[in-house]
Amino acid sequence: MHPAPSVIIFTTFSGLGFGLLLFLGLGLPPVTGWVAFFLYAIAYACAVGGLLASTFHLGHPERALKAFTQWRTSWLSREAWLSVAALLVMGIYAFAAVFLDTRLTPVGILGAALSLATVSSTSMIYAQLKTVPRWHHWLTPAHMLGLSLAGGALLAGQMTVAAALLAVAAAVQVAHWQVGDSALARSGTNLASATGLGAPGRVRAFEPPHTGTNYLLREFVHVVGRRHSRKLRLIALTFGYGLPVVLLVIPAAPHLLGALAILSHLAGILASRWLFFAEAEHVVGLYYGKRAA
Amino acid sequence: MTDLPASTDRKLGLVIDLDTCVGCHACVISCKGWNTENYGAPLSDADAYGGDPSGTFLNRVHSYEITPEEGPAQLVHFPKSCLHCEDAPCVTVCPTGASYKRSEDGIVLVNEDACIGCGLCAWACPYGARELDALEGVMKKCTLCVDRIYNNTLPEIDRVPSCVRTCPAGARHFGDLGDPDSDVSQLVAARGGMDLMPEQGTKPVNKYLPPRPKQDRAEDLDSLAPYLAPVAEDQSGFLGWLDKALDRLPGARSDEEMS
Ligand code: SF4
Ligand code: SF4
Ligand code: SF4
């Protein structure tokens, strides 16, 4: 799939923002007043900023409200509802915490649950797609939820929890890559099934429909070299997971190291998210002879 | 609503004959023409006369080469447009309700006024049947020429999809695949019509007829061979003697050496 900056930024930052909201809703840390204001500002900037970025790739963003209508079948529509609900409920909780110095615990718990549900629905947009075998696996929601929780804990300053969650998220990340690498081959979809021409012999794409490129090739067919991919995976693992864990367990100067850990995590996750899209093989590539399987 | 209808009264669709398609792309052009001038936003082109042309098409023709265990390779031209799936994943993912499947005839359409151009339906289609128009920002797909097949202002002979009407090889057939007695259903039954990517679970309405086994292989094709048997066998008599004598002259080369 085409690794569009808008979707990479959207999924990375909204995951972080809703992760932070989740921890704040649970009272971890139990902040009020100015500290709360500062943390909520970060959370809302990430979550809302991410959602806004996602509208940049729309052909008609002015009709975005229509996306709320099909929650019965569409994960994208559910995500729209859940994100707005989470932002509103957490808004009430944040208002009370910042300006009234009170923590409305039940509201916070509801907000945390809605934040979790929002990230789940985002991940289901990808995991539901049978056409992208690499994504069509429970590890995709596990991956996105794990990252959102770990990143949220990191931003919320929950250092021990963050270190543990990062370790789990790293394991899920590696598993997602491992399982993903053979997903297309295991899916049973190949050029023979795509064309139905496998019975008489070996099928090979001989000529594409047009000499130039087209929407399908631009959107769905992105090929990442093996070496390039290995390098980026290493970068994602090191900066997204490894370095932050190391920085978190160093006892000295927690604030400075915490900030460094967050920056490193963000850089690593952006690399991971780029790979998430760029390495995802859509089966339509088979028709163009662009996939080995 | 993006709920799929439990069943549709009819299942209108196409049957595409891979045996007869000659790969002329006439259906591609007629589809582009009809759908640019009629229903919905026109199908735009970018850099149409430049070095890097690209545009929106609802129907494209691929070509594949099949290499059997034995015998020569075979070229198959492969037109592909929306298959109007019964279990259309493109419809259920749509957040706006712009994509829908009609309960009366099963045609899958996009209401362009409601489409936000998020592209998710194109992600969900395994066949590459949907293309987001670069200029209009809305999703385009085959309409099964819904504006022809029910169009009483057209002569009856033209009330079929533009691609079907145009195909010079008669490789595209239109009809109700839900009716086992229809011409198209019988064609599918007789020729072993197949689904594309059945494992994706989309239950496409459109069917493809596989190429027939080729009887006219190169070795059978040589109908002139009997008339082309070598005329000059081994010479006898005076000519035979002359031939051999000439061969023996210094500098003369025998047939074997020449071949
Ligand atoms: S071929 Fe693609 S666009 Fe057409 S109905 Fe099936 S899934 Fe939808
Ligand atoms: S691009 Fe349009 S038709 Fe397709 S899913 Fe988005 S809103 Fe629906
Ligand atoms: S039925 Fe109409 S819209 Fe569909 S491929 Fe044929 S000409 Fe194009």
Residue B230 placed within a domain: no
Output the CA A5–ligand 2 centroid distance in Å: 20
Q: Is the peptide bond before B250 cis (omega within 30 degrees of 0)?
A: no
Q: How far apart are CA A122 and CA A124, in angstroms?
A: 5
Q: Do both A108 and A163 map to the same domain?
A: no
CB B115 within 8 A of CB B90: no
Q: Do both A87 and A183 map to the same domain?
A: no
Residue A144 placed within a domain: no
Q: How confident is the model at residue B258 (pLDDT cuts 50, 70, 90)?
A: very low
A69 contact residues in B (CB cutoff 8 A): 95-97
**Angstroms from A63 CA to nearest CA on chain B:** 6
Residue A102 placed within a domain: yes
Name residues whose C-beta falls within 8 Å of residue B10's C-beta, 6 or more positions apart in sequence: B104, B105, B106, B176, B178, B179
What pairing do the DSSP bridges indicate for beta strands B139-141 and B172-176? unpaired
The pTM assigned to this predicted structure is 0.89
Mean pLDDT of each 10-residue bin along chain A, 293 residues long: 93 96 95 94 96 90 94 95 97 96 95 98 97 98 98 94 96 98 95 92 94 93 90 97 92 79 96 97 95 59
Quick check: A128 and B52 CB within 8 A?
no
For residue B78, CA distances in Å to A85, B23, B109, B188, B251 come to 48, 7, 23, 17, 58
Residue B229 placed within a domain: no
Residue A134 placed within a domain: no
Residue A58 placed within a domain: yes
Q: Do both A12 and A104 map to the same domain?
A: yes
Question: Can you give the pLDDT at residue B215?
Answer: 65
pLDDT tens per residue across span A154-202: 999 999 999 999 999 999 999 999 999 999 999 999 999 999 998 888 9
pLDDT tens per residue across span B118-177: 999 999 999 999 999 999 999 999 999 999 999 999 999 999 999 999 999 999 999 999
Q: Do both A7 and A107 map to the same domain?
A: yes
Residue A136 placed within a domain: no
| Helix pair angle (A33-55, A5-25), 10° resolution | 150
Question: Can you give the pLDDT at residue B93?
Answer: 97
Q: Do both A178 and A116 map to the same domain?
A: no
Q: Do both A192 and A276 map to the same domain?
A: yes
**Angstroms from B230 CA to nearest CA on chain A:** 37
The ligand minimizing its distance to the Cα of A215 is 2
Q: Do both A220 and A281 map to the same domain?
A: yes
Three-class secondary structure of residue A123 per DSSP: helix
Question: Can you give the pLDDT at residue A293?
Answer: 43
Q: Is the pLDDT of residue B210 over 80?
A: yes
Q: What CATH number is attached to the domain comprising B91?
A: 3.30.70.20
**Considering its fold, how many domains does chain B have in total?**
1
B98: containing domain: 12-209
Residue B151 placed within a domain: yes
Q: How far apart are CA B247 and CA B259, in angstroms?
A: 15
Residue B99 placed within a domain: yes
Q: Which of A79, A108, A128 is the last residue of a domain?
A: A128
For ligand 3, say whether the CB of B145 is within 6 Å of any of its atoms. yes
Q: Is the pLDDT of residue B220 over 60?
A: no
Q: Do both A108 and A204 map to the same domain?
A: no
Residue A149 placed within a domain: no
Quick check: B197 and A206 CB within 8 A?
no
- Give the pair of three-digit tokens for residue A260: 């460094």
- Give the pair of three-digit tokens for residue A129: 């797609």
A263: containing domain: 159-293
Q: How confident is the model at residue B214 (pLDDT cuts 50, 70, 90)?
A: confident
SS (H, E, C) B29-81: HHHHHHHHHCCCCCCCEECCCCCCCEECCCEEEEEEEEECCCCCCEEEEEEEE
Q: Do both A54 and A121 map to the same domain?
A: yes
Residue B132 placed within a domain: yes
Q: Is B54 on the interface with A (CB under 8 A)?
A: yes
Quick check: B117 and A59 CB within 8 A?
yes
Three-class secondary structure of residue B17 per DSSP: strand
Q: Is the pLDDT of residue B204 over 90?
A: yes
Residue A151 placed within a domain: no
Residue B251 placed within a domain: no
> How large is the ipTM?
0.93
Q: What is the CA radius of gyration of chain A?
A: 21
Query: Which atom of ligand 2 lies nearest, measured to the CA of B119?
Result: 1
Question: Can you give the pLDDT at residue B1?
Answer: 66
Residue B257 placed within a domain: no
**Considering its fold, how many domains does chain A have in total?**
2
Q: Do both A112 and A165 map to the same domain?
A: no
Residue B165 placed within a domain: yes
Question: Can you give the pLDDT at residue A200?
Answer: 81
